[in-house]
Chains A and B, each alone.
Chain A
Amino acid sequence: MFANFDFNVIERSWRYLFFDGMAFTLKLTLLAMLGGIVVGTLLAMCRLSSFKPLALVAGGYVNLVRSIPLVLVIFWFYFLVPYIGAWLIGANEPVHVGAFSSSLITFVMFEACYYCEIMRAGIQSVSRGQVSAGHALGLNYWQTMGHIVLPQAFRNMAPVLLTQTVVLFQDVSLVYVLSITDFVGAASKVAQRDGRLVEMYLFVALVYFVLCYALSSLVKRLEHRIAIIR
C-alpha cells in the first residue's frame, strides 16, 4: 500500500519543518499559554468580584469570545487590533501590527476566556473556610488570593489547564488564515511544492500525536507530584 509513497520528502525538508514551522508553533503556544493564564486568572477574579459592574463586564467579554469560532476571532483581531491600538494611544492612523503580533494578541485574548473559566472553577474549588482563615489572620484580599487561594486553585486545576494547552497547541495551526507559517503551514508548503500531500500530512499527524500524547502523559505525572495530601 505504501509502495508509491516517497517518505524522503520528510528527510529533505525536516530542517524547514522543525526549525521554522514547529519553532513558530511552540513559540506561539508557550506565549499564548502564559499570557492566557495570567489574563484568564485576572478575568476569573473579576468575574468572582463582589463589585458587580466588573463582574458583568468580565462575564460579558468571556461569554462573547467563547461563542465565536477561533478562525473568525483571528480574522477580526487582525483587522481590528490596528484600530484598537490607534484608539488606545490616540493616533490618527491605524497602528501597524505585524501578523505575528496580531496572532499573539488574538490567541492570548481568546485563550484567556477559556483559562478564565478553568481558573474560576479552580478558585471556587478552594473552600470558603480557607478564605475565612486567611481573613481572620488579617490577610487582605490580595494576600489571601495570592498566598492561599490561587496556589491551591492552580494545583487543583493544573491537569485541566494543561489539557487546554494541548487544545491551544492544536488551534495554533489556524494561523494559516493570516498566511503565517506554522508547522502545518510549513508541511503544507512542502507538500504542495513536492507534490507529496499524503506523506506530509501523515507525518504532521504523527508529530502532533506524539507531542500531544507526551504532554498528556506529563499532565498525569504532574498530577501526582503536586497533589496536596488531603
Chain B
Amino acid sequence: MIQINNVSKWYGDFQVLADCSTSVKKGDVVVVCGPSGSGKSTLIKAINGLEPFQQGDIMVDGISVGDPKTNLSKLRSRVGMVFQNFELFPHMTVTQNLTIAQIKVLGRSEAEALEKGLKYLDRVGLISQKDKFPGQLSGGQQQRVAIARGLAMDPICMLFDEPTSALDPEMVGEVLDVMVKLAQEGMTMMCVTHEMGFARKVSNRVIFMDEGRIVEDCAKEDFFGNPDARSERAKNFLSKILAH
C-alpha cells in the first residue's frame, strides 16, 4: 500500500533523510522509532507530500507522491494524519472540525458529513463534546477528536506523528486505547512513537531510524525478542528505553 523507494531529502546542505526504503502492506501496523533528529517525522510527513523530497519516490496505493502531475489534494484525503500537537482548528467546534474536510474535499452533503463525523466521534468516546471548542477540551480529548477527524475521511491508512508525546501521562492511555482498537479493526497504520509498550502490543513491524537512515526494519518479535541480532545502535537504543 505504501512503497518508499530510496528517498533522500536535504534541508540546504543538511541531509535529513538518506536513501530510505521500506514498504507497508495493507493491515500492517508499523512503528517507527529512533532518537530525536533521526528523520522519523520527516519520513512520515513525506508519505502524504507534506514534506517534499529531492530523491527517490513514494507510492501510495499505486499513486506516486513525488510526481508533479499527481493530485496531491485527492491523495491526502485518502491518507489520514494525526499530529503531535493535535492541530484541531480552534475557531471551529468539534463537529465543524470533523465535517469541514468531508464537505470541502470529498464533496459529501452536510447531513452525510455530520452523520459520519458523529459516528467516529462516538467511536472515540467523545460524542458528548460535539459542540465544544477545542480549547475547552483536555489534551487527550483533543487528540482523540483529531483521530476521529482523520477517520471521518475514510482513509486507506493512518499516519501518526508522535501522537502521545505532548500529552500528560494520564491521558496517554486513553489515546493509545483508541489506536489499539483501530489496529485491531485492521486499519493500516504507520506510527512514529516512543511508546514501546504500544509497539510491543499492537504493531507487527518496527522500523528503527538513526541520522536519516533506516537502520532496522523487521518484525516486532525480532526487534524486541532478539536484541542480539540487531545493530549496535539499535541495541543501544533498546537498552536505554526498555530500562523504564
Contacts and interface: CB of A to CB of B under 8 A. Distances in A.
B101 A228 contact: no
A143 B50 contact: no
Interface residues of A: mostly helix, strand, loop or mixed? helix
B77 interface: yes
Contact of A230 (B77, B90, B100, B105): B90
A135 B104 CA distance: 12
B73 A138 contact: yes
A129 B87 contact: yes
Given A137-B76, A230-B135, A151 B149 contact: no
B95 interface: no
A228 B90 contact: yes
A130 B88 CA distance: 7
A224 to B, nearest CB: 14
Contact of A139 (B79, B104, B136, B149): B104
B102 to A, nearest CB: 9
Interface string B99-132: 0110011100000000000000000000000000
A130 B135 contact: no
A132 B85 CA distance: 11
A132 B50 contact: yes
Contacts of A143: 104-105
A136 B76 contact: yes
A130 B89 contact: yes
A195 B196 CA distance: 87
Contacts of B88: 133
Given A147-B100, A228-B135, A229-B135, A136 B90 contact: no
A67 B145 CA distance: 48
Contacts of B240: none
Contacts of B75: 138
Contact of A136 (B50, B85, B104): B50
Given A137-B153, A138-B74, A229-B133, A132 B91 contact: no
B149 A137 contact: yes
Interface string B64-87: 000000000111111111010101
Q: Which of A133, A138, A140, A155 has most chain B Cβ within 10 Å?
A: A138
Contact of A133 (B74, B83, B91, B135): B83
Contacts of B136: 229
Contacts of A155: 91
Contacts of A152: 89-91
A70 interface: no
Contacts of A134: 89
B157 to A, nearest CB: 13
Given A135-B50, A136-B48, A137-B76, A228 B105 contact: no
B136 to A, nearest CB: 6
A151 B74 CA distance: 24
A168 interface: no
A148 interface: yes
A151 B91 CA distance: 8
Given A135-B50, A136-B81, A137-B149, 7 more contacts: A132-B45, A133-B88, A136-B48, A136-B50, A136-B80, A139-B73, A230-B135
22 contacts: A127-B85, A129-B87, A130-B87, A133-B89, A136-B48, A136-B80, A136-B81, A137-B76, A137-B77, A137-B100, A138-B73, A138-B77, A138-B78, A138-B101, A138-B105, A139-B73, A139-B101, A139-B105, A147-B104, A228-B91, A228-B135, A229-B90
Interface of A: 127, 129-130, 132-140, 143, 147-148, 151-152, 155, 228-230
Interface of B: 45, 48, 50, 73-81, 83, 85, 87-91, 100-101, 104-106, 133, 135-136, 149-150, 153
Q: Which 7 A-B pairs have the closest CB atoms?
A: A138-B77, A229-B135, A137-B101, A133-B87, A138-B105, A136-B81, A138-B76
